[in-house]
Amino acid sequence: MTVAAWFVGTTSLTRASAIHNHIPWAPHPNSPPEVVRPGPWQFFALDEARAMEAIVDRIIPPDPDTPGGKIAGCAVFIDRQLKGPYGSNQGLYTLEPHTKGTKEQGPQSVLTPAELYRKSLAALDKHCKSTQGGKSFAELDAAAQDDLLRKIESGEVKFDGVDAQGFFSALLKDVPEGFFADPIHGGNIDMVGWKMIGFPGIRYDYRDWVNRHNERYPHPPVSIAGRAEWTPAKS
């Protein structure tokens, strides 16, 4: 690979130099993105994590072509978000007085997302063990899990001390975010969500395809962190 770099000065003289086998700059050198690395759960306890992995796999179940929410890393995405600013409502005004708002005004809970998940997962576990012969949510079969989630969504199942429907609403927002967010955040592993819908990611230039409707984009998607095959192997 050879790149010609041209430098135009204030005079009429133009100088050029040839650069071989490398690009003379690095991506995002001043503000590199924070990339989620594989590792232990940061927010969820182990039993909470098992329940969450089962939940995300029912909200986005696997099919023959695409992994479900668990393999796509949706529970990991939510774990890292709850551990970070999102979980503590950082940047939002949360002081009293608290009044009951409308659905159009968005979530009005006095609980932070981290508190909502923690209390709701505990209430879900209590409900399951009291109604399902001592089994946890993760131990139920898929049909029973779907039935319970439908009842939570409809309001038929109530939780003690926390809004069950509010928890389900949070899941409907957070799980798809984990499936379609940039992989640097822990979900959308191997860009499975983007591949499913044909989204190109942050590929530099796809103008040739903007007006080509009903055609599947043929090139693999690109994350903020680039693609693994673009990183030279260390010798």
Phi, psi of 71 (to 5 degrees): -65, -30
pLDDT value for 2:
44
C-alpha 71/C-alpha 185 separation (Å) is 14
Q: What are the CA-CA distances from residue 144 to residues 64, 86, 87, 139, 151 (Å)?
A: 22, 31, 29, 10, 11
Q: Is the four-CA dihedral 117, 47, 122, 40 of positive or negative sign?
A: negative
Answer yes or no: is pLDDT of 194 > 80.
Answer: yes
Q: What is the SS3 assignment for 195-223?
A: HHHCCCECCCCCHHHCCCCCCCCCCCCEE
C-alpha 19/C-alpha 103 separation (Å) is 58
* Residue 83 · residue 113 · CB < 8 Å: no
pLDDT value for 24:
62
Query: Which of 74-83, 141-150, 159-168, 223-232 is predicted with the least confidence, judged by mean pLDDT?
Result: 223-232
Residues in the chain, how many? 235
Answer yes or no: is pLDDT of 1 > 50.
Answer: no
Alpha helices in 84-220 (DSSP H): 113-131, 142-154, 164-180, 192-197
Q: Tens digit of pLDDT for each residue in 31-73?
A: 666 788 778 999 999 999 999 999 999 999 999 999 999 999 9
Answer yes or no: is pLDDT of 123 > 60.
Answer: yes
Answer yes or no: is pLDDT of 5 > 50.
Answer: no
Radius of gyration (C-alpha) of the chain in whole angstroms = 23
> Which whole number is the average pLDDT over 213-226?
86
Alpha helices in 20-59 (DSSP H): 46-59
Tokens of 233: 């192997």
3-class DSSP state for residue 160? coil
Answer yes or no: is pLDDT of 159 > 70.
Answer: yes
Answer yes or no: is pLDDT of 111 > 80.
Answer: yes
Helix (H) or strand (E) holding 20: strand 14-20
For the whole prediction, is pTM greater than 0.85? no
Query: Which of 91-100, 149-158, 184-193 is predicted with the least confidence, judged by mean pLDDT?
Result: 91-100
